[in-house]
A = this chain, B = another copy of it.
Amino acid sequence: MFESAELGQKIDDATFSKEVVKLRDALLQAQYELLEKKSFALVVLVNGVEGAGKGDAVNVLNAWLDPRHVKSHTFGAPTEDEAQRPHMWRFWQALPPKGEIGILFNNWYTDPISCRLRGDIDAGELATDIEQIRQMERMLIDEQSPVLKLWFHLSKKAQGKRLETLEKNKLTAWRVTEEDWKTHKQYDRLRKVSERVLRETSTGEAPWIVIDGSDDNYRSVTVGRAVLNSLRRGLEQADAVERAKRRHAKTTNGKAKGVMAPLVQTVDTTRILTDLPFKERLSKEKYATKIEEVQGRLNKLSRSRHMRDHSVVVVFEGMDAAGKGGAIRRVTQALDARYYGVIPIAAPTDEEKAHPYLWRFWRHIPRRRQFVIYDRSWYGRVLVERVEGFAEEAAWTRAYTEINEFEEELVEAGIVIVKLWLAITKEEQLKRFKSREKTPFKQYKITPDDWRNRKRWDDYTEAASDMIDRTSTSSAPWTVIEANDKQLARVKVIETICDRLEASF
Protein backbone atom coordinates (compact mmCIF):
# COMPACT_ATOMS: atom_id res chain seq x y z
CA MET A 1 0.00 0.00 0.00
CA PHE A 2 2.91 2.32 0.60
CA GLU A 3 4.79 1.98 -2.67
CA SER A 4 3.54 5.08 -4.43
CA ALA A 5 4.04 7.11 -1.27
CA GLU A 6 7.72 6.24 -1.35
CA LEU A 7 8.40 7.70 -4.77
CA GLY A 8 9.28 11.06 -3.23
CA GLN A 9 6.39 13.07 -4.68
CA LYS A 10 7.05 16.78 -4.93
CA ILE A 11 5.27 20.01 -5.81
CA ASP A 12 7.43 23.04 -6.61
CA ASP A 13 6.79 26.35 -4.86
CA ALA A 14 5.32 28.14 -7.88
CA THR A 15 2.73 25.46 -8.58
CA PHE A 16 2.02 25.23 -4.87
CA SER A 17 1.30 28.96 -4.48
CA LYS A 18 -1.07 28.96 -7.44
CA GLU A 19 -2.87 25.82 -6.33
CA VAL A 20 -3.23 26.91 -2.73
CA VAL A 21 -5.19 30.09 -3.47
CA LYS A 22 -7.90 28.12 -5.23
CA LEU A 23 -7.81 25.25 -2.78
CA ARG A 24 -8.26 27.48 0.26
CA ASP A 25 -11.18 29.28 -1.29
CA ALA A 26 -12.86 26.02 -2.19
CA LEU A 27 -12.21 24.54 1.27
CA LEU A 28 -13.71 27.52 3.06
CA GLN A 29 -16.75 27.51 0.82
CA ALA A 30 -17.34 23.81 1.40
CA GLN A 31 -16.84 24.25 5.14
CA TYR A 32 -19.36 27.09 5.30
CA GLU A 33 -21.85 25.09 3.30
CA LEU A 34 -21.46 22.26 5.80
CA LEU A 35 -21.83 24.70 8.67
CA GLU A 36 -24.99 26.14 7.26
CA LYS A 37 -26.67 22.88 6.30
CA LYS A 38 -25.50 20.91 9.34
CA SER A 39 -26.26 17.76 7.39
CA PHE A 40 -23.31 15.75 8.63
CA ALA A 41 -20.03 15.80 10.57
CA LEU A 42 -16.69 15.05 8.92
CA VAL A 43 -14.36 12.79 10.89
CA VAL A 44 -10.70 12.98 9.86
CA LEU A 45 -8.38 10.30 11.21
CA VAL A 46 -4.70 11.19 11.25
CA ASN A 47 -2.19 8.34 11.50
CA GLY A 48 1.18 7.40 10.12
CA VAL A 49 4.85 6.94 10.81
CA GLU A 50 6.88 9.27 13.06
CA GLY A 51 8.35 12.28 11.32
CA ALA A 52 5.97 12.22 8.36
CA GLY A 53 4.49 15.57 9.32
CA LYS A 54 1.11 14.68 10.83
CA GLY A 55 1.10 17.65 13.17
CA ASP A 56 2.30 20.07 10.50
CA ALA A 57 -0.33 18.86 8.05
CA VAL A 58 -3.15 19.41 10.52
CA ASN A 59 -1.80 22.84 11.40
CA VAL A 60 -1.88 23.80 7.73
CA LEU A 61 -5.40 22.44 7.44
CA ASN A 62 -6.50 24.46 10.45
CA ALA A 63 -5.00 27.58 8.94
CA TRP A 64 -6.85 26.98 5.67
CA LEU A 65 -10.19 26.25 7.26
CA ASP A 66 -12.14 28.32 9.75
CA PRO A 67 -10.63 26.94 12.96
CA ARG A 68 -13.69 27.85 14.99
CA HIS A 69 -15.49 24.86 13.55
CA VAL A 70 -12.68 22.34 13.52
CA LYS A 71 -11.98 20.43 16.72
CA SER A 72 -8.78 18.48 17.12
CA HIS A 73 -8.46 15.72 19.66
CA THR A 74 -5.46 13.72 20.63
CA PHE A 75 -5.63 10.63 22.79
CA GLY A 76 -2.78 9.65 25.07
CA ALA A 77 -2.70 6.82 27.58
CA PRO A 78 -6.28 6.41 28.85
CA THR A 79 -7.12 8.55 31.88
CA GLU A 80 -8.75 6.96 34.92
CA ASP A 81 -12.19 7.93 33.63
CA GLU A 82 -11.45 6.43 30.24
CA ALA A 83 -9.83 3.25 31.51
CA GLN A 84 -12.99 2.34 33.41
CA ARG A 85 -15.14 2.26 30.30
CA PRO A 86 -15.16 0.33 27.00
CA HIS A 87 -12.19 1.49 24.98
CA MET A 88 -14.30 3.07 22.24
CA TRP A 89 -15.98 5.33 24.83
CA ARG A 90 -13.47 8.14 24.62
CA PHE A 91 -13.73 8.29 20.85
CA TRP A 92 -17.51 8.52 21.06
CA GLN A 93 -17.15 11.45 23.43
CA ALA A 94 -14.97 13.22 20.85
CA LEU A 95 -17.24 12.77 17.83
CA PRO A 96 -17.99 16.17 16.24
CA PRO A 97 -21.61 17.38 16.04
CA LYS A 98 -23.21 17.93 12.63
CA GLY A 99 -21.79 20.93 10.83
CA GLU A 100 -18.33 20.50 12.32
CA ILE A 101 -15.06 18.83 11.39
CA GLY A 102 -13.32 16.63 13.95
CA ILE A 103 -9.67 15.71 13.60
CA LEU A 104 -8.61 12.73 15.66
CA PHE A 105 -4.92 12.08 16.31
CA ASN A 106 -3.93 8.82 18.01
CA ASN A 107 -7.38 7.48 17.30
CA TRP A 108 -8.87 3.99 17.29
CA TYR A 109 -6.07 2.71 15.03
CA THR A 110 -3.23 3.68 17.35
CA ASP A 111 -3.68 1.10 20.10
CA PRO A 112 -4.28 -1.99 17.94
CA ILE A 113 -1.23 -1.20 15.79
CA SER A 114 1.12 -0.42 18.65
CA CYS A 115 -0.11 -3.32 20.78
CA ARG A 116 0.47 -5.72 17.92
CA LEU A 117 3.89 -4.14 17.32
CA ARG A 118 4.87 -4.72 20.94
CA GLY A 119 3.48 -8.25 20.76
CA ASP A 120 0.87 -7.52 23.44
CA ILE A 121 -1.86 -8.95 21.26
CA ASP A 122 -1.81 -11.82 18.78
CA ALA A 123 -3.11 -11.91 15.22
CA GLY A 124 -6.53 -13.12 16.39
CA GLU A 125 -6.96 -10.29 18.85
CA LEU A 126 -5.89 -7.84 16.19
CA ALA A 127 -8.58 -9.25 13.92
CA THR A 128 -11.15 -8.66 16.67
CA ASP A 129 -10.00 -5.06 17.05
CA ILE A 130 -10.21 -4.55 13.31
CA GLU A 131 -13.76 -5.88 13.31
CA GLN A 132 -14.70 -3.38 16.02
CA ILE A 133 -13.15 -0.55 14.02
CA ARG A 134 -15.09 -1.59 10.94
CA GLN A 135 -18.31 -1.51 12.94
CA MET A 136 -17.55 1.98 14.23
CA GLU A 137 -16.81 3.33 10.78
CA ARG A 138 -19.78 1.63 9.18
CA MET A 139 -22.01 3.21 11.82
CA LEU A 140 -20.56 6.66 11.10
CA ILE A 141 -21.02 6.27 7.38
CA ASP A 142 -24.57 5.01 7.86
CA GLU A 143 -25.23 8.14 9.88
CA GLN A 144 -23.97 10.15 6.87
CA SER A 145 -20.70 11.14 8.54
CA PRO A 146 -17.88 10.60 6.05
CA VAL A 147 -14.70 9.15 7.56
CA LEU A 148 -11.51 10.45 5.99
CA LYS A 149 -8.54 8.28 6.85
CA LEU A 150 -5.11 9.78 6.25
CA TRP A 151 -1.91 7.80 6.65
CA PHE A 152 1.27 9.86 6.54
CA HIS A 153 4.11 7.83 5.20
CA LEU A 154 7.90 8.08 4.90
CA SER A 155 10.30 5.43 3.62
CA LYS A 156 12.75 4.08 6.18
CA LYS A 157 15.57 6.00 4.55
CA ALA A 158 13.62 9.23 4.47
CA GLN A 159 12.67 8.81 8.10
CA GLY A 160 16.28 8.28 9.16
CA LYS A 161 17.39 11.30 7.18
CA ARG A 162 14.67 13.47 8.66
CA LEU A 163 15.61 12.55 12.22
CA GLU A 164 19.25 13.34 11.49
CA THR A 165 18.41 16.70 9.96
CA LEU A 166 16.28 17.67 12.92
CA GLU A 167 18.99 16.58 15.35
CA LYS A 168 21.70 18.61 13.64
CA ASN A 169 19.77 21.87 13.87
CA LYS A 170 20.02 23.44 17.33
CA LEU A 171 16.48 24.82 17.09
CA THR A 172 14.84 21.50 16.29
CA ALA A 173 17.09 19.02 18.08
CA TRP A 174 14.67 18.90 21.04
CA ARG A 175 12.06 17.37 18.81
CA VAL A 176 14.01 14.14 18.37
CA THR A 177 13.75 11.80 21.31
CA GLU A 178 15.22 8.41 22.06
CA GLU A 179 11.74 7.03 21.50
CA ASP A 180 11.92 8.28 17.90
CA TRP A 181 15.10 6.35 17.19
CA LYS A 182 13.60 3.26 18.77
CA THR A 183 10.60 3.65 16.48
CA HIS A 184 12.97 3.99 13.55
CA LYS A 185 14.61 0.67 14.36
CA GLN A 186 11.20 -1.00 14.40
CA TYR A 187 10.30 0.54 11.06
CA ASP A 188 10.05 -2.70 9.09
CA ARG A 189 7.82 -4.36 11.62
CA LEU A 190 5.57 -1.30 11.85
CA ARG A 191 5.33 -1.24 8.09
CA LYS A 192 4.21 -4.83 8.04
CA VAL A 193 1.63 -4.51 10.80
CA SER A 194 0.19 -1.25 9.59
CA GLU A 195 -0.02 -2.43 6.01
CA ARG A 196 -2.18 -5.32 7.14
CA VAL A 197 -4.40 -3.08 9.25
CA LEU A 198 -4.75 -0.55 6.45
CA ARG A 199 -5.56 -3.19 3.89
CA GLU A 200 -8.23 -4.77 6.03
CA THR A 201 -9.89 -1.48 6.93
CA SER A 202 -9.71 0.12 3.52
CA THR A 203 -13.34 -0.14 2.48
CA GLY A 204 -15.07 1.33 -0.52
CA GLU A 205 -16.77 3.95 1.59
CA ALA A 206 -13.83 4.78 3.83
CA PRO A 207 -10.59 3.99 2.01
CA TRP A 208 -7.20 4.90 3.40
CA ILE A 209 -5.35 7.71 1.69
CA VAL A 210 -1.62 7.19 1.99
CA ILE A 211 0.29 10.46 1.78
CA ASP A 212 3.97 10.84 1.03
CA GLY A 213 5.21 12.98 3.90
CA SER A 214 8.61 13.88 2.53
CA ASP A 215 7.69 17.09 0.71
CA ASP A 216 5.82 19.83 2.64
CA ASN A 217 4.10 21.27 -0.43
CA TYR A 218 2.93 17.94 -1.72
CA ARG A 219 1.71 16.83 1.69
CA SER A 220 -0.27 20.01 2.37
CA VAL A 221 -1.95 20.05 -1.02
CA THR A 222 -2.83 16.36 -0.85
CA VAL A 223 -4.39 16.73 2.58
CA GLY A 224 -6.29 19.83 1.48
CA ARG A 225 -7.65 18.09 -1.60
CA ALA A 226 -8.65 15.01 0.36
CA VAL A 227 -10.62 17.08 2.86
CA LEU A 228 -12.23 19.07 0.06
CA ASN A 229 -13.29 15.89 -1.71
CA SER A 230 -14.79 14.41 1.42
CA LEU A 231 -16.69 17.59 2.17
CA ARG A 232 -18.03 17.86 -1.36
CA ARG A 233 -19.00 14.23 -1.59
CA GLY A 234 -20.70 14.45 1.80
CA LEU A 235 -22.64 17.54 0.76
CA GLU A 236 -23.73 15.96 -2.50
CA GLN A 237 -24.87 12.81 -0.76
CA ALA A 238 -26.78 14.77 1.85
CA ASP A 239 -28.51 16.73 -0.92
CA ALA A 240 -29.40 13.51 -2.70
CA VAL A 241 -30.88 12.09 0.50
CA GLU A 242 -32.86 15.31 0.98
CA ARG A 243 -34.21 15.13 -2.57
CA ALA A 244 -35.14 11.48 -2.20
CA LYS A 245 -36.99 12.28 1.00
CA ARG A 246 -38.95 15.08 -0.64
CA ARG A 247 -39.82 12.85 -3.58
CA HIS A 248 -40.91 10.12 -1.21
CA ALA A 249 -43.01 12.59 0.78
CA LYS A 250 -44.72 13.64 -2.48
CA THR A 251 -45.55 10.13 -3.61
CA THR A 252 -46.96 9.32 -0.18
CA ASN A 253 -49.05 12.46 -0.52
CA GLY A 254 -47.18 14.38 2.15
CA LYS A 255 -48.57 12.28 4.97
CA ALA A 256 -46.25 10.90 7.61
CA LYS A 257 -47.02 7.26 8.08
CA GLY A 258 -45.86 4.49 10.30
CA VAL A 259 -43.51 2.31 8.31
CA MET A 260 -44.42 -1.19 9.29
CA ALA A 261 -42.27 -4.26 9.25
CA PRO A 262 -41.24 -5.68 5.90
CA LEU A 263 -39.58 -8.38 7.95
CA VAL A 264 -40.38 -12.03 7.73
CA GLN A 265 -43.06 -12.66 10.32
CA THR A 266 -41.53 -14.09 13.46
CA VAL A 267 -44.53 -16.00 14.64
CA ASP A 268 -42.78 -17.66 17.52
CA THR A 269 -41.69 -14.53 19.33
CA THR A 270 -44.99 -12.83 18.86
CA ARG A 271 -46.42 -15.78 20.66
CA ILE A 272 -43.97 -15.29 23.50
CA LEU A 273 -45.50 -11.89 24.10
CA THR A 274 -49.12 -12.65 23.32
CA ASP A 275 -49.48 -16.11 24.77
CA LEU A 276 -48.13 -15.38 28.21
CA PRO A 277 -50.27 -17.12 30.84
CA PHE A 278 -50.44 -14.16 33.29
CA LYS A 279 -51.66 -16.52 35.96
CA GLU A 280 -49.12 -16.41 38.73
CA ARG A 281 -49.85 -14.05 41.61
CA LEU A 282 -48.05 -13.00 44.76
CA SER A 283 -49.98 -12.14 47.90
CA LYS A 284 -49.21 -8.92 49.79
CA GLU A 285 -47.80 -10.85 52.73
CA LYS A 286 -45.58 -13.06 50.68
CA TYR A 287 -44.44 -10.02 48.69
CA ALA A 288 -43.31 -8.18 51.82
CA THR A 289 -40.97 -11.02 52.77
CA LYS A 290 -39.92 -11.87 49.27
CA ILE A 291 -39.00 -8.34 48.16
CA GLU A 292 -36.81 -7.82 51.22
CA GLU A 293 -35.12 -11.10 50.54
CA VAL A 294 -34.24 -10.32 46.91
CA GLN A 295 -33.28 -6.74 47.70
CA GLY A 296 -30.90 -8.08 50.31
CA ARG A 297 -29.46 -10.44 47.75
CA LEU A 298 -28.99 -7.60 45.25
CA ASN A 299 -27.45 -5.34 47.86
CA LYS A 300 -24.92 -8.00 48.76
CA LEU A 301 -24.06 -8.61 45.12
CA SER A 302 -23.66 -4.88 44.52
CA ARG A 303 -21.01 -4.80 47.23
CA SER A 304 -19.23 -7.91 45.96
CA ARG A 305 -15.53 -7.63 45.24
CA HIS A 306 -16.31 -8.68 41.67
CA MET A 307 -17.85 -5.27 41.12
CA ARG A 308 -14.33 -3.82 41.09
CA ASP A 309 -14.03 -5.03 37.49
CA HIS A 310 -17.66 -4.77 36.52
CA SER A 311 -20.45 -2.36 36.06
CA VAL A 312 -24.11 -2.96 35.32
CA VAL A 313 -26.50 -1.64 32.72
CA VAL A 314 -30.18 -2.45 33.23
CA VAL A 315 -32.61 -1.72 30.42
CA PHE A 316 -36.32 -1.40 31.15
CA GLU A 317 -38.72 -1.61 28.22
CA GLY A 318 -42.41 -2.36 28.03
CA MET A 319 -45.75 -0.87 27.08
CA ASP A 320 -46.91 2.32 28.79
CA ALA A 321 -48.02 1.65 32.37
CA ALA A 322 -46.23 -1.70 32.47
CA GLY A 323 -44.77 -0.69 35.83
CA LYS A 324 -41.25 0.31 34.81
CA GLY A 325 -41.02 3.23 37.25
CA GLY A 326 -42.23 1.22 40.21
CA ALA A 327 -39.88 -1.66 39.44
CA ILE A 328 -36.94 0.73 39.06
CA ARG A 329 -37.66 2.18 42.46
CA ARG A 330 -37.56 -1.29 44.04
CA VAL A 331 -34.19 -1.92 42.40
CA THR A 332 -32.63 1.36 43.51
CA GLN A 333 -33.85 0.82 47.08
CA ALA A 334 -31.40 -2.04 47.25
CA LEU A 335 -28.47 -0.01 45.98
CA ASP A 336 -26.19 2.63 47.45
CA ALA A 337 -27.14 6.07 46.10
CA ARG A 338 -23.47 6.80 45.42
CA TYR A 339 -23.24 3.99 42.94
CA TYR A 340 -26.24 4.17 40.69
CA GLY A 341 -27.85 6.48 38.20
CA VAL A 342 -31.26 6.28 36.54
CA ILE A 343 -31.47 7.65 33.01
CA PRO A 344 -35.01 8.34 31.86
CA ILE A 345 -35.06 8.45 28.07
CA ALA A 346 -37.24 11.19 26.66
CA ALA A 347 -36.86 13.29 23.50
CA PRO A 348 -33.18 13.88 22.67
CA THR A 349 -31.65 17.28 23.44
CA ASP A 350 -30.34 19.31 20.50
CA GLU A 351 -26.77 18.28 21.29
CA GLU A 352 -27.85 14.66 21.18
CA LYS A 353 -29.68 15.14 17.91
CA ALA A 354 -26.49 16.47 16.31
CA HIS A 355 -24.67 13.18 16.95
CA PRO A 356 -25.06 9.57 15.77
CA TYR A 357 -28.03 7.79 17.32
CA LEU A 358 -26.15 5.80 19.96
CA TRP A 359 -24.15 8.82 21.19
CA ARG A 360 -26.64 9.75 23.86
CA PHE A 361 -26.48 6.30 25.35
CA TRP A 362 -22.69 6.13 25.23
CA ARG A 363 -22.64 9.36 27.27
CA HIS A 364 -23.99 7.58 30.33
CA ILE A 365 -21.98 4.36 30.21
CA PRO A 366 -20.97 3.68 33.82
CA ARG A 367 -17.52 3.50 35.37
CA ARG A 368 -16.59 0.38 37.33
CA ARG A 369 -18.81 -0.49 40.30
CA GLN A 370 -21.63 1.71 39.00
CA PHE A 371 -25.17 0.67 38.07
CA VAL A 372 -26.91 2.58 35.30
CA ILE A 373 -30.61 1.95 34.88
CA TYR A 374 -32.25 3.02 31.65
CA ASP A 375 -35.97 3.78 31.81
CA ARG A 376 -36.52 3.10 28.11
CA SER A 377 -33.38 2.93 26.03
CA TRP A 378 -31.68 2.66 22.66
CA TYR A 379 -34.42 0.18 21.79
CA GLY A 380 -36.65 3.20 21.18
CA ARG A 381 -35.37 3.17 17.63
CA VAL A 382 -36.92 -0.22 16.85
CA LEU A 383 -40.02 0.40 18.97
CA VAL A 384 -41.58 3.87 19.07
CA GLU A 385 -39.43 5.32 16.28
CA ARG A 386 -40.28 2.41 14.02
CA VAL A 387 -43.98 2.27 14.81
CA GLU A 388 -44.56 6.02 14.67
CA GLY A 389 -42.37 6.44 11.61
CA PHE A 390 -39.92 8.80 13.35
CA ALA A 391 -37.02 6.79 11.98
CA GLU A 392 -36.80 5.73 8.37
CA GLU A 393 -36.94 2.08 7.57
CA ALA A 394 -33.26 2.00 6.61
CA ALA A 395 -32.31 3.49 9.98
CA TRP A 396 -34.34 1.19 12.20
CA THR A 397 -33.57 -1.98 10.31
CA ARG A 398 -29.84 -1.38 10.57
CA ALA A 399 -30.32 -0.51 14.26
CA TYR A 400 -30.64 -4.23 15.16
CA THR A 401 -27.06 -4.80 14.09
CA GLU A 402 -25.79 -1.55 15.55
CA ILE A 403 -27.37 -2.37 18.88
CA ASN A 404 -26.01 -5.91 18.96
CA GLU A 405 -22.53 -4.61 18.22
CA PHE A 406 -22.86 -1.87 20.81
CA GLU A 407 -23.91 -4.32 23.51
CA GLU A 408 -21.15 -6.72 22.57
CA GLU A 409 -18.62 -3.94 23.14
CA LEU A 410 -20.07 -3.25 26.57
CA VAL A 411 -20.03 -6.91 27.55
CA GLU A 412 -16.43 -7.25 26.42
CA ALA A 413 -15.51 -4.35 28.67
CA GLY A 414 -16.94 -6.14 31.69
CA ILE A 415 -20.37 -4.55 31.72
CA VAL A 416 -23.25 -6.80 32.73
CA ILE A 417 -26.31 -6.03 30.62
CA VAL A 418 -29.78 -6.92 31.88
CA LYS A 419 -32.62 -6.34 29.41
CA LEU A 420 -36.14 -6.55 30.78
CA TRP A 421 -39.40 -6.46 28.86
CA LEU A 422 -42.29 -5.86 31.25
CA ALA A 423 -45.30 -7.48 29.63
CA ILE A 424 -48.90 -6.60 30.48
CA THR A 425 -52.19 -7.37 28.76
CA LYS A 426 -54.19 -4.78 26.90
CA GLU A 427 -56.94 -5.00 29.51
CA GLU A 428 -54.51 -4.46 32.36
CA GLN A 429 -53.16 -1.35 30.64
CA LEU A 430 -56.67 0.10 30.33
CA LYS A 431 -57.29 -0.54 34.02
CA ARG A 432 -54.08 1.23 34.97
CA PHE A 433 -54.69 4.21 32.69
CA LYS A 434 -58.08 4.73 34.26
CA SER A 435 -56.81 4.37 37.80
CA ARG A 436 -54.02 6.87 37.06
CA GLU A 437 -56.54 9.39 35.86
CA LYS A 438 -58.31 9.12 39.20
CA THR A 439 -55.29 9.43 41.50
CA PRO A 440 -54.34 13.13 41.84
CA PHE A 441 -50.57 12.77 41.98
CA LYS A 442 -50.51 10.18 39.24
CA GLN A 443 -52.40 12.26 36.70
CA TYR A 444 -49.16 13.69 35.35
CA LYS A 445 -48.36 10.16 34.30
CA ILE A 446 -51.17 9.84 31.81
CA THR A 447 -51.09 11.92 28.65
CA PRO A 448 -52.96 11.97 25.32
CA ASP A 449 -49.84 10.30 23.90
CA ASP A 450 -50.56 7.25 26.02
CA TRP A 451 -54.05 6.89 24.60
CA ARG A 452 -52.72 7.37 21.09
CA ASN A 453 -50.02 4.73 21.54
CA ARG A 454 -52.62 2.34 22.92
CA LYS A 455 -54.44 2.37 19.59
CA ARG A 456 -51.34 0.89 18.02
CA TRP A 457 -51.03 -1.90 20.55
CA ASP A 458 -50.66 -4.61 17.91
CA ASP A 459 -47.99 -2.69 16.01
CA TYR A 460 -46.03 -2.24 19.20
CA THR A 461 -46.37 -5.94 20.00
CA GLU A 462 -45.12 -6.80 16.54
CA ALA A 463 -42.15 -4.42 16.89
CA ALA A 464 -41.29 -5.74 20.34
CA SER A 465 -41.38 -9.31 19.05
CA ASP A 466 -39.00 -8.48 16.23
CA MET A 467 -36.78 -6.70 18.70
CA ILE A 468 -36.57 -9.64 21.08
CA ASP A 469 -36.03 -11.98 18.19
CA ARG A 470 -33.17 -10.01 16.72
CA THR A 471 -31.38 -8.66 19.76
CA SER A 472 -31.54 -11.45 22.29
CA THR A 473 -27.95 -12.65 22.27
CA SER A 474 -26.23 -15.08 24.56
CA SER A 475 -24.19 -12.33 26.18
CA ALA A 476 -27.12 -9.91 26.45
CA PRO A 477 -30.39 -11.84 26.41
CA TRP A 478 -33.87 -10.40 26.87
CA THR A 479 -35.97 -11.48 29.82
CA VAL A 480 -39.74 -11.18 29.41
CA ILE A 481 -41.45 -10.56 32.73
CA GLU A 482 -45.18 -10.99 33.25
CA ALA A 483 -46.13 -7.74 34.90
CA ASN A 484 -49.90 -7.87 35.29
CA ASP A 485 -49.19 -8.58 38.92
CA LYS A 486 -46.96 -5.71 40.05
CA GLN A 487 -45.67 -7.45 43.16
CA LEU A 488 -44.62 -10.53 41.29
CA ALA A 489 -43.00 -8.47 38.55
CA ARG A 490 -40.89 -6.46 40.98
CA VAL A 491 -39.57 -9.57 42.65
CA LYS A 492 -38.79 -11.18 39.30
CA VAL A 493 -37.02 -8.05 38.04
CA ILE A 494 -34.64 -8.06 40.97
CA GLU A 495 -34.18 -11.82 40.76
CA THR A 496 -33.27 -11.54 37.10
CA ILE A 497 -30.68 -8.87 37.82
CA CYS A 498 -29.22 -11.00 40.59
CA ASP A 499 -29.09 -14.10 38.42
CA ARG A 500 -27.35 -12.23 35.62
CA LEU A 501 -24.82 -10.74 38.04
CA GLU A 502 -24.03 -14.11 39.57
CA ALA A 503 -23.61 -15.70 36.18
CA SER A 504 -21.22 -12.94 35.10
CA PHE A 505 -18.98 -12.86 38.16
Where the two chains meet, the residues of A that have a C-beta atom closer than 8 Å to any C-beta of B are 25, 28-29, 32, 35-36, 55, 58-59, 61-63, 66-72, 74, 79-81, 103, 105, 325, 328-329, 332-333, 335-338, 340-344, 349-351, 375, 440-441, 444
Contacts and interface: CB of A to CB of B under 8 A. Distances in A.
A336 B444 contact: no
A81 to B, nearest CB: 5
Given A79-B79, A80-B79, A80-B80, A337 B62 contact: yes
Nearest to A55: B336
Given A62-B332, A67-B329, A329-B66, A337 B441 contact: no
Given A79-B81, A81-B81, 14 more contacts: A29-B441, A55-B336, A55-B337, A59-B335, A59-B337, A62-B332, A63-B329, A63-B333, A67-B332, A68-B328, A72-B337, A79-B80, A80-B81, A349-B350
Contact of A62 (B58, B70, B333, B440): B333
Contact of A325 (B68, B332, B351): B68
B349 A67 contact: no
- Residue from A25, A328, A336, A351 whose CB has the most chain B CB atoms within 10 Å: A336
Nearest to A440: B29
Report how many copies the assembly holds.
2
3 cross-chain pairs, A with B, having the tightest CB-CB distances, nearest first: A74-B338, A68-B344, A58-B337
A232 to B, nearest CB: 15
A337 B62 CA distance: 7
Contacts of A343: 68
Contacts of A67: 328-329, 332, 342
Nearest to A332: B67
A416 B293 CA distance: 57
Nearest to A72: B337
Given A81-B79, A328-B67, A441-B25, A59 B333 contact: yes
A29 B444 CA distance: 10
A482 B25 CA distance: 28
B36 A337 contact: no
A27 B66 CA distance: 51
A61 B332 CA distance: 11
Contacts of A332: 62-63, 67
A333 B375 CA distance: 47
A105 B32 contact: no
16 contacts: A29-B440, A32-B441, A55-B337, A55-B338, A58-B337, A59-B333, A61-B337, A63-B329, A63-B332, A67-B329, A68-B325, A70-B342, A71-B341, A79-B80, A80-B81, A350-B350
Contact of A103 (B70, B337, B342, B344): B337
A501 B285 CA distance: 71
Contacts of A333: 59, 62-63
A338 B80 contact: no
B336 A59 contact: yes
Contacts of A325: 66, 68
A68 B342 contact: yes
Nearest to A444: B32
Contacts of A440: 29
A59 to B, nearest CB: 5
